[in-house]
Amino acid sequence: MISTELKKVILKQLNLDDFDLQDETTAPQVPGWDSLNHINIILAVEEHFKVKFKSYELLRLKCVGDLQKLVDSKLGR
């Protein structure tokens, strides 16, 4: 399940008040989440959670749930 914290970081970066982000939500389903913005979202998540992602980890991300799992694994959750 997507944490409120991650959702907040993503929505802030996309300049959206609210959007129903589910585990299976993919970037093309979210307004504003295009390839240019993707990199900004990743950097915002890294900065907020004080984590660093590797490129091969980013290539495996298929949906928001995968991003949540990656953040959790970095934080040892």
Partner 1 sequence: MNNFEIGEANTLWKRWSLNAKKNPDRDAIIHWVAGEEPLRWSFSRLLESAKIFSAHIRALDIKPGEVCAIIMRHNAMFYPLYLGISRTAALPAVLAYPNPRLHPDKFRQGLEGMSQRSGLDYILTERELEPLISPLIEKPGSTIKAVYFPLEWNLNESIDPKIDNEIENIANSVNETDPFLLQHSSGTTGLQKPVVLSHRAVLNHVVHYCKALRLSENDKVVSWLPLYHDMGLIGAYQIPLAFGIPSIQIDPFQWVLAPVIQLETISKEKATLLWLPNFAYNIYAEKINEEELEGISLESVRMIINASEPVRHDSHEKFANRYKKYGFNPLALTAMYGMAETTLAVSQTTAGEKIPEVIVDRNKLQNGVVEFAKSNSITRVCVSSGKLIDGCDARIVDDKRNDLPDGFVGEVAVKSVSMFDGYRNYPEKTAEVVENCWYFTGDYGFRYQNEFFIIGRKKDIIIVAGKNIYPEDIEDVVNQVEGVIPGRVIAFGEEDETMGTEQVAVVAETKADDEQSKNQVRMAILKAGMTIDVNIHKVYLVPPRWLIKSSSGKPSRKANKEKLISATDPQVWSR
The residues that touch partner 1, with contacts defined as CB under 8 A, are 15-17, 26, 28-29, 31-32, 34-40, 43, 46, 52-56, 58-59, 61
At residue 43, φ and ψ (nearest 5 deg) are -65, -40
For partner 1, give the closer residue by CB, 32 or 65. 32
For partner 1, give the closer residue by CB, 56 or 77. 56
Question: Whole-number minimum distance, CB 6 to partner 1, in Å?
Answer: 18
> What stretch of H or E contains 44?
helix 35-49
Residue 20, Cβ neighbours under 10 Å: how many?
9
